[in-house]
């Protein structure tokens, strides 16, 4: 797959290019996607941001 091709987010189904990593929550979501859920590159920025935000609030074993 070429880098300019759009992907479909596996959570919400939206087409996206590359997640916008400007938000700390998106960065946290990208880290979780790579290290915890093993679905790196499959989520849009909105879903990564939501994942990062929710994990910071509720996934206490990852906050250490």
The phi and psi torsions of 41 (rounded to 5 degrees) equal 85, 0
Q: Helix, strand or coil for residue 7?
A: strand
Nearest CA among 22, 13, 62 for reference residue 42: 13
Does residue 54 form part of some domain?
yes
Determine how many CB atoms are found less than 10 A away from the CB of residue 58.
Answer: 9
Using a 10 angstrom Cβ sphere, with 0-12 exposed, 13-18 middle and 19 or more buried, the burial of residue 56 is: middle
Does residue 1 form part of some domain?
no
Give percent of the chain above pLDDT 70. 89
Number of domains in the chain: 1
Q: What is the pTM of this model?
A: 0.83
pLDDT single digits (tens) 4-25 = 789 999 999 999 998 777 899 9
Domain range for 54: 7-62
């Amino acid at each position: 797959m070429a880098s300019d091709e759009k992907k479909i987010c596996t959570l919400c189904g939206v087409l996206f290019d590359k997640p916008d990593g400007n938000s700390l929550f998106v960065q946290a979501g990208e880290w979780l996607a790579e290290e915890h859920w093993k679905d790196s590159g499959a989520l849009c920025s909105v879903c990564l941001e939501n994942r990062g935000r929710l994990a910071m609030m509720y996934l206490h074993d990852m906050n250490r």
